[in-house]
């Protein structure tokens, strides 16, 4: 079965491609390389021993998508291709809306016109905002996200739900908590452009001496140690959830399926706990200072992930320390390439 993976050379996309190949799916990757690099394709081949088909183009270009669907018998799609920098999304809202939503709509049009089902959307726990209840269930009410990036995820979900209901399609919305870590081979991982915004890439670069010190954004939150709490999920566990979600859609005999899953570990870790776990796992120091809170940050977010466990037979069980070890291995690999 041939699956289109948009953004398949990106962080979560590349790990998911490896898991799809392991499970004997044929994979067609489209990635415009705007936030990824070509060597990731070679590394996917090295790690999986298989060669996915790859097209480097911008998925806003309808005519190219049309040709792609003419050339391949695509039976499902996992849509990762999107801009994802929260700060940048506030400065360039139109670029974010155009890119993230046009890509989505262009692919859904092909699905509609060619009678294809099985669509998986890469969503985010950002759609819950600061939830009033913890842990966060799939039924926890959504709040308007603070960022344009978050809004594109929420709008994307709405578009897909309407699409599935009107045209009788099978779809799965996967709401990721905080993905971290790298492939155990050390050959795939996150490639932050410039100064990282996310915690783990910043911690890693600080340990490597690229950054002088980590700024911890606030230690006056109402949490155990005063720093904010998130649910950090290992990227390979996350990748496996995509395969499980896809297999469930394919196996379903219903014509319309509207699946929504929280993908997290179910455990919250504070910023300080992440720093300490990184130091312990890798036996390196991470110098830090306490700063003001970052605007738009929430206090706490962790998943109730039992729905995914029950319905997909999937569970994120890699520990924080193991995940952070792989991040360090990936950093060493990147240094060895320079
Ligand atoms: C961020 C995005 C979220 C997106 C997710 C993708 C914001 C406000 N939210 O989530 O929409 O879906 O990334 O992974 O950007 N921290 C520091 N110092 C740093 C970096 C982070 O203390 O240098 C803290 C943050 O304040 C936060 C925690 O670490 O408490 C995690 O931050 P981050 O990795 O950026 O993820 P989120 O903010 O949860």
pLDDT tens track for 219-264: 999 999 999 999 999 999 999 999 999 999 999 999 999 999 999 9
Is 149 assigned a catalytic role?
A: yes
Q: Which atom of ligand 1 is nearest to the CA of 274?
A: 29
Residue 191, pLDDT above cutoff 90: yes
pLDDT at 138: 98
- Tokens in use for 60? 């806003």
Select from 150, 197, 226, 324 the residue to mutate for testing ligand 1; criterion: most ligand atoms less than 8 Å from CB: 197
Which band of pLDDT confidence, cut at 50, 70 and 90, is reported for residue 146?
confident
- Tokens in use for 238? 């996350």
230 Cα to the center of ligand 1, angstroms: 9
Q: What is the mean pLDDT of the chain?
A: 97
Q: Which atom of ligand 1 is nearest to the CA of 297?
A: 8
Choosing from 149, 176, 232, 234, the catalytic residue is: 149
Q: Is 109 in the pocket of ligand 1 (CB under 6 A)?
A: no
Taking alpha carbons only, the member of 244, 246, 269 closest to residue 323 is 269
Q: Which atom of ligand 1 is nearest to the CA of 301?
A: 39
Q: Which domains does the chain have, with CATH numbers?
A: 2-182+234-264 (3.40.50.720)
Name the percent of the chain lying above pLDDT 90.
96
Centre a 10 Å sphere on the Cβ of residue 266 and count the other Cβ atoms it contains: 18
Residue 9, pLDDT above cutoff 90: yes
Q: HSE (CB half, 13 Å, CA atoms) of 312?
A: 28
Q: State the angle between helix axes of 271-282 and 199-207 in degrees (0 to 180), rounded to the nearest 10.
A: 40
Pick the residue whose CA is nearest to atom 38 on ligand 1: 297
Residue 32, pLDDT above cutoff 90: yes
Which band of pLDDT confidence, cut at 50, 70 and 90, is reported for residue 150?
very high
Average pLDDT value for residue range 23-50 = 97
**From residue 61, how far is each of 53, 109, 291, 336 by CA, in Å?**
19, 13, 43, 36
Q: Which atom of ligand 1 is nearest to the CA of 86?
A: 15
Q: Is 126 in the pocket of ligand 1 (CB under 6 A)?
A: yes
Pick the residue whose CA is nearest to atom 5 on ligand 1: 178
- Write the pLDDT tens digit of every residue in 57-93: 999 999 999 999 999 999 999 999 999 999 999 999 9
Cα–Cα distance, 71 to 55 (Å, whole number): 12
Task: Classify residue 155 as exposed, middle or buried by CB count within 10 Å of its CB (0-12, 13-18, 19+).
Answer: middle
pLDDT at 338: 79
187 Cα to the center of ligand 1, angstroms: 24
276 Cα to the center of ligand 1, angstroms: 17
pLDDT at 193: 82
pLDDT at 26: 98
- Write the pLDDT tens digit of every residue in 81-139: 999 999 999 999 999 999 999 999 999 999 999 999 999 999 999 999 989 999 999 99
- Write down the number of H helices and E strands in the chain: 11, 13
DSSP code string of 38-82 = THHHHHHHHHHS---EEE---TT-HHHHHHHHHHS-EEEEEE---
pLDDT at 224: 96
Cα–Cα distance, 298 to 130 (Å, whole number): 6
86 Cα to the center of ligand 1, angstroms: 9
Q: Is 199 in the pocket of ligand 1 (CB under 6 A)?
A: yes
- What's the pTM value of the predicted model, to 2 decimals? 0.98
176 Cα to the center of ligand 1, angstroms: 13
pLDDT at 112: 98
Name the percent of the chain lying above pLDDT 70.
100
DSSP state of 293: P
């Amino acid at each position: 079965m041939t699956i289109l993976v948009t953004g398949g050379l990106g962080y979560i996309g590349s790990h998911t491609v490896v898991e799809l190949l392991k499970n004997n799916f044929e994979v067609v990757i489209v990635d415009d390389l705007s936030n990824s690099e070509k060597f990731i394709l070679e590394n996917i081949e090295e790690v999986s021993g298989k060669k996915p088909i790859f097209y480097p183009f911008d998925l806003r270009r309808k005519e190219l998508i049309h040709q792609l669907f003419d050339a391949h018998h695509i039976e499902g799609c996992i849509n990762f291709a999107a801009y994802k920098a929260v700060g940048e999304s506030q400065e360039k809202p139109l670029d974010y809306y155009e890119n993230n939503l046009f890509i989505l709509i262009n692919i859904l049009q092909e699905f509609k016109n060619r009678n294809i089902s099985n669509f998986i959307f890469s969503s985010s726990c950002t759609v819950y905002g600061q939830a009033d209840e913890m842990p966060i269930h799939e039924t926890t009410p959504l709040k308007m996200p603070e960022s344009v990036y978050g809004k594109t995820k929420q709008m994307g979900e709405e578009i897909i739900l309407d699409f599935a209901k009107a045209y009788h399609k099978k779809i799965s919305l996967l709401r990721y908590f905080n993905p971290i870590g790298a492939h155990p081979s050390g050959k795939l991982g996150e490639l932050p452009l410039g100064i990282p915004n996310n915690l783990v890439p910043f911690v890693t670069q600080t340990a490597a001496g690229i950054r002088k010190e980590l700024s911890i954004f606030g230690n006056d939150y109402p949490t155990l140690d005063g720093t904010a709490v998130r649910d950090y999920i290992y990227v390979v566990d996350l990748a496996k959830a995509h395969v499980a979600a896809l297999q469930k859609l394919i196996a379903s005999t219903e014509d319309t399926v509207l699946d929504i899953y929280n993908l997290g570990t179910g455990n919250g870790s504070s910023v300080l706990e992440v720093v300490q776990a990184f130091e312990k796992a890798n036996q390196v120091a991470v110098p830090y200072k306490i700063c003001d809170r970052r605007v738009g940050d929430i206090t706490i977010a962790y998943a109730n992930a039992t729905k995914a466990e029950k319905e997909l037979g999937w569970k994120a069980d890699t520990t924080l320390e193991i995940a952070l070890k792989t991040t360090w291995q990936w950093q060493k690999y990147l240094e060895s390439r320079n």
